[in-house]
Amino acid sequence: MDKKREKIIDATMELILERGYTATTTKDIAERAGVNECTIFRKFGEKKEIVVEGMKLKRWHPDISEETFSDIKRDLSEDLKMFMRNYIKEVTPAFVKLSIGLRSPQIYDITAPLIMNIPSVFIKSLSAYLAEMKRKGKIGNIDCETFASNVLASTFGYVFFKASFGDALIESESERYIDETVRIWTEGVLK
């Protein structure tokens, strides 16, 4: 990729992260990237195309696949921690803020499938793992997809709160949060 395209993509994604898609103009992008506004149109055609190209780059879109969650030990606690840890490692607070900025109606039809792929892969991978553990009698008779969704909600919630409020709402570092959350799930809260 040429340097100008890269500068334009980075400027666009940074501005969307800061302001949202609608408030980001091609004039602002050109200024931030240090290029002429005509260069943006020549290289990309329109603002949407810059976002599409940006979402193909790992620095702007987490590289989550089933492989992300393949380090299975067949130990429920350790495996749940691995799922959470790998998600938190890939889905950064910056990406959460960016994904919020990309929910604008003008671009939602393009960005939603790219953003939705992340939770879909997580739920699919964890559900398959839990179904196997259930078949082997290692866990009780649970709805695997519902539990996988709960794990995702808790993990995403942690990243979202960190992205939105820093340490003001959840002070726990990710490892402590993961350990305690998994302990509660595996041991329960009842005495």
Task: Examine the domain organization and report whether 101 and 133 are in the same domain.
Answer: yes
Reported as type and span, the H/E element at residue 145 is helix 144-165
Three-state DSSP state, 25: coil
DSSP code, position 168: T
Question: Are 36 and 97 part of one and the same domain?
Answer: no
3-state secondary structure of 27: helix
Q: Which of 36, 38, 31, 37 is nearest to 14 (CA)?
A: 31
> Quick one: 12 and 90 in the same domain?
no
Long-range contacts of 40-48 (CB under 8 A, 24+ apart): 40/8, 43/4, 43/5, 43/8, 44/5, 44/8, 47/12, 47/21, 48/106, 48/107, 48/110
Are 30 and 74 contained in the same domain?
Answer: no
What's the CATH number where 29 sits? 1.10.10.60
- CA distances (Å), 82 to each of 37, 128, 145, 163, in order? 45, 15, 18, 21
Q: Are 96 and 183 found together in one domain? A: yes
The tens-digit pLDDT sequence of the chain (191 residues) is 799 999 999 999 999 999 999 999 999 999 999 999 999 999 999 999 999 999 999 889 898 999 999 999 999 999 999 999 999 999 988 899 999 888 889 999 999 998 999 999 999 999 999 999 999 999 999 999 999 999 999 999 999 999 889 888 888 899 999 999 999 999 987 76
Residues 90 and 138 in one domain: yes
Q: Model-level pTM?
A: 0.88
Domain that holds residue 176: 66-187
Residues 74 and 36 both lie in one domain: no
Same domain, residue pair 81 and 138: yes
**φ/ψ (deg, to 5) at 158:** -60, -50
Q: How many domains does the chain have?
A: 2
* 174 and 87 in a common domain: yes
Q: Does residue 18 sit in the same domain as residue 89?
A: no
Q: Is residue 61 part of a domain?
A: no
| Domain assignment of residue 59, yes or no | no
**What is the tens place of the pLDDT at every residue in 168-182?**
888 889 999 999 999
pLDDT at 169: 86
CATH number at residue 111: 1.10.357
Q: Domain check: are 180 and 154 in the same one?
A: yes
